[in-house]
Copies of this chain bind each other. A is one copy, B any other.
Amino acid sequence: MLGSLPSFARLVAELSKLPGIGNKTATRLAFHLLRRSHEEVNALATALVEMKQNLSFCQRCFNIAEGDLCSICRDAGRDESSICVVQEPQDLIAIERSHGYRGYYHVLHGALSPLDGIGPEDLKVPQLLERLKDQQIKEVLVATSFTVEGEATALYLARILKDAGIKATRPAHGIPLGSDLEFIDSATVQLAIDSRREL
């Protein structure tokens, strides 16, 4: 049946390319879009095209940006002595949402993974080293993920930063706020107890 509807089949094929969307979900989405008005479908198509036209990566920190520099690099009111290194723009957004950090960022666009053949040159590490030559930088907060690859990347950067005489820090491990001890994995509980503080 769908073979006789090439434009429907093409939309299903394009939607199936999205992550986490298989053939069944793509078909369901295509049927949904079929019922929507021309305006609504065009709004989505326009948003797609304009996003690609307008967005790129910041030339300094590789965060997503409209224009050459992202809104954070354009903000002169931030702490110039500090760079926070994250794996992905999403991580940057999460940190910004917390309002816990007021310095600048550097987005690596991945983590070291020797088994997958991903080395420092495949990430934005050379560009970070270039930025570290700036004498103003006193601290680098290494906020890569707390996974094997993220920790390996953090260790790698910590070594470079130590050689360069720049303080390297990492967000603390511990019990998340509002959580029940019984549901926290024991490695986290152990770390939280090791880093206990006086009340």
Binding site for B on A (CB under 8 A): 1-2, 4-8, 10-11, 13-15, 17-20, 25, 27-34, 38, 40-55, 64-66, 70-72, 88-90, 92-93, 96-97
Contacts and interface: CB of A to CB of B under 8 A. Distances in A.
A171 to B, nearest CB: 18
Given A20-B25, A38-B52, A5 B66 contact: yes
A55 B7 contact: yes
Given A32-B18, A48-B45, A66 B7 contact: yes
A1 B33 contact: no
A72 B1 contact: yes
Main SS class of interface, A: helix
28 contacts: A1-B93, A1-B97, A4-B66, A4-B71, A5-B55, A5-B65, A5-B71, A6-B66, A7-B47, A8-B51, A8-B55, A10-B47, A10-B50, A17-B40, A19-B29, A28-B90, A31-B89, A34-B51, A38-B52, A41-B48, A41-B49, A41-B52, A42-B48, A42-B49, A42-B52, A45-B48, A45-B49, A48-B48
Contact of A5 (B17, B52, B64): B64
B19 A32 contact: yes
Contact of A14 (B4, B8, B11, B47): B47
Nearest to A30: B51
A28 B33 contact: no
Contacts of A52: 33-34, 38, 41-42
A150 to B, nearest CB: 17
A90 B92 CA distance: 41
Contact of A11 (B5, B17, B47): B47
Given A7-B55, A29-B18, A55-B8, A93 B2 contact: yes
Contact of A90 (B27, B54, B93): B27
A1 B47 contact: no
A46 B7 CA distance: 10
